[in-house]
Amino acid sequence: MSHGRRDAFLIGAAIAVAWFATPWLHAGWFLVAVPESYSTTIEWLDYGFLSLWTFGIVWGALFGVVLARGLRSSGAIWWSFLLGLVLGLSQFLASRYRFAPDVSLSLYIWAYGQFVMPILGSVAACWVVEKQWPRKRRNAPNAA
């Protein structure tokens, strides 16, 4: 299989998994990892949304690592960005927030910031993997 077809297959598979698995995993994470009751003395801190931000970063980072290690082309960072965007958009399209008119700005930041976390996670993980775990490049044999 050529490098271009292998890369196209990996990117297509990653997008398909991201699109179809994210809603199910997001719902499962919400049921298991988001606390039902919590209290804090810090007004702007929301542990429920913090947990959802964690899911977005971890889920995006998983795809960033897969793309950094699996793609043979040099555009893994850009593909990680686009896949993180797909992850964030899929979560945004499935969201249904209804806020009271007098809620604080921090609630808006928590609620809509979770859709940016997959982008940050996938790009950061891809960058770290490419810098810290470089793939061995094969040199072309010398024809001389």
45-85 pLDDT per residue, tens: 777 788 888 988 999 999 999 999 988 877 889 999 999 99
Per the domain annotation, does 86 fall within a domain?
Answer: yes
Per the domain annotation, does 126 fall within a domain?
Answer: yes
Per the domain annotation, does 17 fall within a domain?
Answer: no
Per the domain annotation, does 26 fall within a domain?
Answer: no
Number of domains forming the structure of the chain: 1
Helices (runs of H) and strands (runs of E) counted in the chain:
5, 0
Q: How many CA atoms lie within 13 A of 65 on its CB side?
A: 8
Per the domain annotation, does 74 fall within a domain?
Answer: yes
Look up the pTM and report it: 0.79
Distance CA 89, CA 91 (A): 5
Per the domain annotation, does 4 fall within a domain?
Answer: no
Per the domain annotation, does 77 fall within a domain?
Answer: yes
Find out whether 84 and 118 touch, Cβ atoms under 8 Å. yes
Q: For residue 97, give its domain range.
A: 50-132
Per the domain annotation, does 60 fall within a domain?
Answer: yes
Report residue 24's pLDDT band, with 50, 70 and 90 as the boundaries: confident
- pLDDT tens digits along 90-101: 888 888 878 788
| Largest interatomic CA distance in the chain | 75
Least confident of 27-31, 59-63, 108-112: 27-31
Residue 12, pLDDT > 50, answer yes
